[in-house]
Amino acid sequence: MRKILFISLILIAATSCKKTEWAPEGPTDIRVRNLQGDLAFNEVIVKTAGGRDTTGNIKEFGTIAAGAVSDYHRVTFAYPKAEITATINGQLFSTGEFFSTYMQYIGQQRITYEVFISNMDNRILKINNVVFDEPLELK
């Protein structure tokens, strides 16, 4: 009787294990909203890796007009922080690097990073908010 129970448990465990198509940490669809009402962000690049493998986690967004939002771009994984760089009036602005060692993945979501210039003299961008637009439906 114990052998039958043991074999049944092994069979149930073996058949219930299946690999999902996507890992729980991603993918994530990201976009950027320019909160500056008077300046366009040119050559926008978003890096969501934060010290990890950057394959699939660096996306070029091109130009985002003042007050506008970009299209979504898919990355392997994303965090509440990202390194965002943009050329504004011919000068390079950045949020700076971040470390994701203890950060929680955003997961399978569509999100918007809302970005503004926090210090014009030091050319510093800041993520004001991360908006969770909707869950990502994978097919």
Residues 115, 129 contacting (CB under 8 angstroms): no
Tell me the fold of 21-135.
Immunoglobulin-like (2.60.40)
CB proximity list for 62: less than 8 A, separation 6 or greater: 42, 43, 44, 70
Task: Quote the DSSP letter at residue 27.
Answer: -
Residues 37, 65 contacting (CB under 8 angstroms): no
> What SS3 class is residue 61?
strand
pLDDT in tens, the chain (139 residues): 777 777 777 777 666 655 545 557 779 999 999 999 899 999 999 998 766 556 668 899 999 999 999 999 999 888 999 999 999 999 999 999 888 778 888 989 999 999 999 999 999 999 999 999 988 877 6
pLDDT for res 67: 93
Q: What are the boundaries of each domain within the chain? A: 21-135
pLDDT for res 38: 93
Q: Give the model confidence (pLDDT) of 82-104 as tens digits.
A: 999 999 999 999 999 888 778 88
**pTM of full prediction above 0.85:** no
